[in-house]
């Protein structure tokens, strides 16, 4: 085969150009905002302008919002089986990978930065920032830790703990401020700590007719659930008669106290309303598919089921609708007594639901369409986790910026 001689290259292509390619700043901003925190931490060393860009509040906010698409689950282990620890190990994994292959590989990477005499309780996690409660003897304080950047704050907001106190962590979208809320069980007084101000402020007290979870002999969710710039507590109404010795209550006994972190005012929301004959057990709140959800167990004629209702329009009580009903048989729960279930994630295609069984230290993956259940396998036999929840990587500073 005769191959024609190659034509000489144009001079502009034959010789390397000495001209530099300059990318627009907005293009650099856009490309970098899609990268992981690990890559961004390294790219900060490229040049001063990149370091300045990646450290800017506007970039951190855009990157945080884009990270919402890459849902992860964070697992924090302690050095004991109790909720109080002196040494923490933090692992997190993409939800998508967990759904495709229910196998978790754990690393023994201790959380550093705390003194050995500090006892630590995990309060909550929001936008990639973990709030920790530390104490030594009678003194209590807060830490803020970013697992992705491995930064930890100094001791902040020292205060005196009272018996039965409740503490929760969330984010005020209106001011881009991270806030910790402390509730005194006895007085119903509420105080707020804003990261950056570093002081506790008193706000509107909670209503007296609502009992906190520790007033009851049976289990009820006492954790403030963060959703859309609010913290939400499931409580029991004191203005309706009920049997304090019973483990079962009906719909009308419950109330949701929702605290707006922007206005720092609370509202009272009714949960789904049903028949007075329906007795609920192991009730809780969670967030699935950008909706606040109400969960409970109910048994009828020997068949036990787990129910999830969702509030389609947050704050609108009439928007409650039943979302999922799953039999204990399909979940492979065969115990005679109820166990707590905490839904963590529901896939966009509606196939997979990830739930935690806190008392058993287990994660289960339930396929809604096939009724198939898989226990998530870990690479270690350790069952010491003290906190498990949804998580996103972020560059959020431990000073809240």
Encode pLDDT of 199-215 as tens digits.
999 999 988 756 544 44
Name all contacts of 195-204 with Cβ < 8 Å and 24+ positions apart: 195/144, 195/156, 195/399, 195/400, 196/399, 196/400, 196/401, 198/156, 198/157, 199/157, 200/157, 200/159, 203/264, 203/265, 204/264, 204/265, 204/266
Q: Note whether 42 and 156 are same-domain residues.
A: no
Is residue 322 in some structural domain?
yes
Is residue 308 in some structural domain?
yes
Q: Note whether 40 and 175 are same-domain residues.
A: no
Q: Note whether 311 and 166 are same-domain residues.
A: yes
Residues 341, 284: Cα–Cα separation, whole Å: 9
CB 74 within 8 A of CB 67: no
Q: Considering only CA atoms, which of 121, 123, 159, 154 is closest in space to residue 138?
A: 159
Q: Note whether 146 and 271 are same-domain residues.
A: yes
Query: Encoding tokens for residue 149?
Result: 């950047």
For residue 57, what is the enclosing H or E element?
helix 57-67
CB 199 within 8 A of CB 223: no
Q: Note whether 168 and 203 are same-domain residues.
A: yes
Q: Note whether 342 and 215 are same-domain residues.
A: yes
Segment 20-30 mean pLDDT: 80
* Amino acid 129: pLDDT: 94
pTM for the whole structure: 0.85
Q: Considering only CA atoms, which of 390, 340, 342 is closest in space to residue 366?
A: 342
Name the more confident of 175 and 246.
Answer: 175
Q: Which pairing describes strands 377-378 and 103-104: parallel, antiparallel, or unpaired?
A: parallel
Q: Which residues contact 97 (CB under 8 A, 6 or more apart)?
A: none
Question: Residue 264 — pLDDT band, cuts 50, 70, 90?
Answer: very high
Segment 204-232 mean pLDDT: 68
For residue 178, the domain's CATH number is 2.120.10.30
User: What residues make up the domain containing 36?
Assistant: 23-55
Residues 26, 401: Cα–Cα separation, whole Å: 22
Q: Note whether 28 and 136 are same-domain residues.
A: no
CB 304 within 8 A of CB 328: yes
pLDDT in tens, 359-401: 777 788 888 788 888 877 665 655 566 778 889 999 999 986 6
């Amino acid at each position: 085969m005769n191959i024609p001689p190659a034509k000489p290259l144009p001079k502009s292509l034959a010789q390397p150009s000495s001209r530099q390619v300059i990318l627009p700043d907005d293009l650099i901003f856009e490309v970098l905002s899609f990268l992981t925190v690990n890559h961004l931490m390294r790219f900060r060393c490229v040049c001063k302008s990149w370091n300045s860009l990646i450290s800017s509040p506007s970039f951190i906010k855009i990157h945080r919002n884009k990270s919402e698409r890459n849902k992860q689950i964070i697992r924090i282990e302690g050095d004991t089986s109790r909720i109080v620890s002196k040494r923490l190990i933090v692992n997190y994994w993409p939800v998508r990978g967990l759904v495709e292959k229910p196998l978790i590989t754990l690393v023994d990477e201790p959380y550093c930065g705390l003194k050995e005499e500090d006892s630590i309780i995990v309060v909550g996690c929001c936008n990639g920032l973990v709030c920790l409660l530390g104490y030594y003897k009678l003194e209590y304080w807060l830490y803020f830790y970013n697992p992705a950047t491995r930064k930890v704050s100094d001791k902040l907001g020292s205060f005196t703990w009272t018996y039965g106190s409740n503490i929760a962590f969330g984010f005020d979208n209106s001011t881009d401020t991270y806030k910790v809320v402390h509730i005194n069980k006895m007085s119903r007084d509420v105080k707020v700590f804003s990261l950056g101000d570093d002081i506790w402020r008193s706000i509107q007290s909670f209503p007296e007719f609502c009992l906190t979870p520790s007033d009851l002999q049976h289990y009820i969710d006492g954790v403030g659930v963060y959703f859309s710039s609010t913290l939400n507590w499931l409580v029991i109404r004191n203005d309706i008669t009920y049997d304090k010795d019973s483990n079962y209550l009906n719909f009308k006994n419950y109330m949701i106290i929702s605290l707006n972190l922007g206005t720092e005012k609370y509202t009272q929301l009714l949960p789904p309303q049903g028949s007075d004959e329906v007795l609920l057990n192991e009730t809780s709140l969670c967030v699935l598919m950008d909706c606040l959800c109400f969960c409970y167990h109910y048994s009828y004629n020997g068949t036990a089921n787990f129910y999830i209702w969702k509030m389609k329009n947050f704050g609108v009580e009439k928007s409650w609708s039943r979302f999922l009903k799953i039999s204990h048989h399909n979940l492979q729960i065969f115990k005679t007594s109820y166990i707590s279930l905490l839904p963590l994630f529901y896939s966009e295609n509606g196939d997979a639901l990830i739930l935690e069984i806190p008392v058993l230290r287990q994660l289960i993956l339930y396929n809604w369409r096939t009724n198939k259940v898989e226990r998530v396998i870990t690479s270690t036999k350790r069952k010491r986790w003290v906190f498990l929840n949804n998580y996103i990587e972020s560059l959020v500073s431990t000073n809240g910026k």
